[in-house]
């Protein structure tokens, strides 16, 4: 029997605007379990977005939008039934619940539960969400970025600047009896610059960042000028780039965004769904050495205001700091509800989904390598010949054989311990369980990325963060031409 316990959630848009109450939630959950499922949850989402884009010093796009809906999930054994509706009327939600319920074949579950609100915390306290800020202020950010990038160097001839923000309001109710709400702000400014010598071929540079922050962040902390100059600088550097080397060599990765290495080499392979199914190159390796003892890798969803952070995951479970690799030894997997049930493991706050229209799965949040004690400059000085990479376009991994790539967008030759020429874009390739064994130095300069990453898995995109100090990898294949 379901019992109504008078719980309310007045801070939620779903109560205020759509009249949703605890009794409704229990009715929907009961319907979802009407065919005997083991577990059900509801994910209500209201997403407001806005975007400004500037190109050729002209504000060409100003856009706003709203999407909303609810996803109903039912788990029966290892099976998942899922249905969603972009109409929040009780009839449509009940219909979705009935559709999802069909994954189970049995009598209704008569779980006795009353819904309780979960513990509250706020990793991203935002008074005025960026989506509700004065639109003209966002336009101004893009115009400032445009001016700054052009002022950086006369060889900069094209600038695109985009400011995009969103406010996601969610309510998650589970048949375990928990109701949680969250307001998840996000804002991002990005700048692309093109530069060329008179009569020469263009080169491109890109920079951007943000997080779960207010508009003020871009006025006080990371200004449009900061990102614009960085984009322009990268484009200018590339004007002198020579062909990249090809073959195995020593690679030094700079701090921050190159932490994408960990996301691809390690992170995806440790997501529990792949390991439960035995399809990951890391399957069965918990307790084994998968990296040099200098490497400790964590996935931490609790960092204040970071792009990859969440108060609670998209299944309503609080995020936490998960140690993936400790001094080179594989420690554990990233778990969501379904995998943790099947594997008999604890949830790790890693269940995420792109939207109400998507089934949750284990995902990363902010993934980074902890600082070591080497001096970054010493690390470079110790390399007779190699490649120093400071920025990347993106990466990808084949979970099963463990091979991963990440594509460098700014890198330099190291010759006799000195950084010499910039080189053209090159993709680096390695093998997840092997590559980190060649990490021979870890710097003390841990840095997280600027807040620009989006991770794709099985067609779902979620915002993530990465980070790393300067590291030296003794052996890695560099995909140049020369």
What's the CA gap between 199 and 197, in Å, rounded? 6
Residues 134-163 binding other proteins (CB under 8 A) are 135-136, 139, 157-158, 160
Which of 83, 371 has the CB closer to other proteins?
Answer: 83
Question: Min. distance of Cβ 201 from other proteins in angstroms?
Answer: 6
Residues 334-353 binding other proteins (CB under 8 A) are none
Question: Which residues are within 8 A (CB) of 136 and not within 5 positions of it... i.e. 6 or more apart?
Answer: none
Q: Are 8 and 15 in contact (CB under 8 A)?
A: yes
Collapsing DSSP states into helix, strand and coil, what is residue 381? helix
Strand partners, 236: none
Question: Min. distance of Cβ 278 from other proteins in angstroms?
Answer: 6
Interface with other proteins (CB under 8 A), residue from 9, 29, 42, 69: 69
What's the CA gap between 405 and 230, in Å, rounded? 24
**How buried is residue 139: exposed, middle or buried, by Cβ count under 10 Å (0-12/13-18/19+)?**
middle
Which of 81, 451 has the CB closer to other proteins?
Answer: 81
Interface with other proteins (CB under 8 A), residue from 3, 79, 288, 381: 79
Residues 16-55 binding other proteins (CB under 8 A) are 49, 51-53, 55
Q: Tell me: does residue 406 bind other proteins (CB under 8 A).
A: yes
Interface with other proteins (CB under 8 A), residue from 4, 5, 16, 60: 60
Place of tokens 């400011």: 163
Which of 149, 379 has the CB closer to other proteins?
Answer: 149
Q: Are 188 and 451 in contact (CB under 8 A)?
A: yes
Count interface residues toward other proteins (CB under 8 A). Answer: 82
What's the CA gap between 461 and 112, in Å, rounded? 36
Interface with other proteins (CB under 8 A), residue from 359, 413, 414, 436: 359
Of 132-140, 209-217, 294-302, 442-450, the segment contacting other proteins by CB under 8 A is: 132-140
Q: Are 167 and 183 in contact (CB under 8 A)?
A: yes
Question: Min. distance of Cβ 81 from other proteins in angstroms?
Answer: 5
Note the residue count of the chain. 482
Interface with other proteins (CB under 8 A), residue from 21, 117, 204, 320: 204
Residues 259-288 binding other proteins (CB under 8 A) are 277-279, 281
User: Which residue stretches of 163-279 are H helix?
Assistant: 217-220, 224-238, 260-262, 272-276
Interface with other proteins (CB under 8 A), residue from 56, 110, 119, 199: 56
Residues 423-452 binding other proteins (CB under 8 A) are 424-431
Which of 280, 347 has the CB closer to other proteins?
Answer: 280
Angle ∠(132,136,138) on CA atoms, nearest 5:
70
The pair of three-digit structure tokens given for residue 380, joined into one six-digit string: 């470079």
Which of 80, 374 has the CB closer to other proteins?
Answer: 80
Q: 102: phi > 0 → left, psi -120 to 50 → alpha, else beta; which? A: alpha
Q: Tell me: does residue 248 bind other proteins (CB under 8 A).
A: yes
Q: List the one residue out of 277, 278, 316, 276 whose CA is nearest residue 39.
A: 316
Of 67-75, 109-117, 378-386, 413-421, the segment contacting other proteins by CB under 8 A is: 67-75
Q: Tell me: does residue 101 bind other proteins (CB under 8 A).
A: no
Buried b (16+ CB within 10 A) or exposed e, 406-445: bbbbbbbbbeeeebeebbbbbbbebbbbebbbbbbbbbeb
Question: Min. distance of Cβ 9 from other proteins in angstroms?
Answer: 21
Question: Min. distance of Cβ 337 from other proteins in angstroms?
Answer: 13
Q: Are 24 and 7 in contact (CB under 8 A)?
A: no
Residues 376-405 binding other proteins (CB under 8 A) are 393-401, 403-405
């Amino acid at each position: 029997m379901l019992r109504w316990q008078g719980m309310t959630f007045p801070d939620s848009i779903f109560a205020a605007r759509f009249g949703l109450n605890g009794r409704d939630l229990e009715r929907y959950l009961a319907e979802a379990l009407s065919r005997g499922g083991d577990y059900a949850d509801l994910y209500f989402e209201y997403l407001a977005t806005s975007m400004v884009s500037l190109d050729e010093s002209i504000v060409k796009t100003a856009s706003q939008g709203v999407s909303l809906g609810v996803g109903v999930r039912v788990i029966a054994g290892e099976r998942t039934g899922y249905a969603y509706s972009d109409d929040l009327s009780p009839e449509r939600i009940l219909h979705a619940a009935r559709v999802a319920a069909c994954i189970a074949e049995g009598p209704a579950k008569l779980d006795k539960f009353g819904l309780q609100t979960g513990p509250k915390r706020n990793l991203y306290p935002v008074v005025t969400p960026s989506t509700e800020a004065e639109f003209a202020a966002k336009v101004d950010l893009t115009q400032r970025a445009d001016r700054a990038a052009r002022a950086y160097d006369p060889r900069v001839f094209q600038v695109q600047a985009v400011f995009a923000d969103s406010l996601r309001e969610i309510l998650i109710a589970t048949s375990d009896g928990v109701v949680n709400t969250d307001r998840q702000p996000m804002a991002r400014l990005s700048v692309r610059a093109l530069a060329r010598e008179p009569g020469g071929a263009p080169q491109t540079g890109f920079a951007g960042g943000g997080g779960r922050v207010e508009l003020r962040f871009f006025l006080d902390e990371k200004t449009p000028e900061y990102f614009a100059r960085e984009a322009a600088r990268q484009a200018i550097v590339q004007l002198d780039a020579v062909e990249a080397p090809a073959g195995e060599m020593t690679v030094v990765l700079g701090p921050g965004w190159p932490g994408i290495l960990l996301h691809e080499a390690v992170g995806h392979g440790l997501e529990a769904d792949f390991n439960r199914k035995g399809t990951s190159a890391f399957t069965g390796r918990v307790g084994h050495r998968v990296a040099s003892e200098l490497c400790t890798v964590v996935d931490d969803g609790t960092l204040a205001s970071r792009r990859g952070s969440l108060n609670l995951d998209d299944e309503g479970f609080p995020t936490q700091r998960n140690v993936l690799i400790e001094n080179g030894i594989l420690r554990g997997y990233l778990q969501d509800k379904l995998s943790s049930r099947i594997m008999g493991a604890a949830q790790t706050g890693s269940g995420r989904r792109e939207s109400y229209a998507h089934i949750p799965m284990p995902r990363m949040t902010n993934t980074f390598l902890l600082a070591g004690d080497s001096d970054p400059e010493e690390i470079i000085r110790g390399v007779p010949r190699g490649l120093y990479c400071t920025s990347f376009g993106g990466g990808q991994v084949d979970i099963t054989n463990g091979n991963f790539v990440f594509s460098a967008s700014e890198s330099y030759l190291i010759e006799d311990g000195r950084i010499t020429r910039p080189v053209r874009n090159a993709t680096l390739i390695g093998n997840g369980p092997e590559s980190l064994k060649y990490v021979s130095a870890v710097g003390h300069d841990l840095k997280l990325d600027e807040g620009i990453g989006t991770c794709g898995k099985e067609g779902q995109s979620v915002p993530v963060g990465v980070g790393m100090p300067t590291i030296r990898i003794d052996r890695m294949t560099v995909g140049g031409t020369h």
